[in-house]
Amino acid sequence: MTNQTRLASTDELESIFQRELATDRWAATETAYALAVRHRDLGDWPASQEWAQQCLRLLEGFPSETEEQVATGRTSVGGVQLPTYLHSGVVEERFGTLG
């Protein structure tokens, strides 16, 4: 796990994402969101959009009827703050309409 007091590089986050994708799809969804934020903050809008879309694709596999179902399991990933609730509305609000 990365040190939560510093921002992880996008390469570090991508490595975390690949591991989580094989073992914990919800954690991978959270990390995809963090990657979208990191790339946006670095000014790489195309990569940010790609990761936001990846996050949305992963979210499609989870139920989202209740707050418990969309509550994030962590407060941050690689130093990137996660929203309390992660669902398509939050992603689209923060990254615009993707498609």
Report pLDDT digits (tens) over 19-60. 999 999 999 999 999 999 999 999 999 999 999 999 999 999
CB of 75 closer than 8 Å to CB of 82 = yes
Question: How many angstroms separate the CA atoms of 52 and 92, rounded?
Answer: 8
Give me the chain's average pLDDT, please: 92
Q: What is the CA radius of gyration of the chain?
A: 12
pLDDT at residue 3 tops 50: no
Confidence of residue 98 (pLDDT cuts 50, 70, 90): low
Q: How many other C-beta atoms can be found within 10 angstroms of the C-beta atom of residue 76?
A: 16
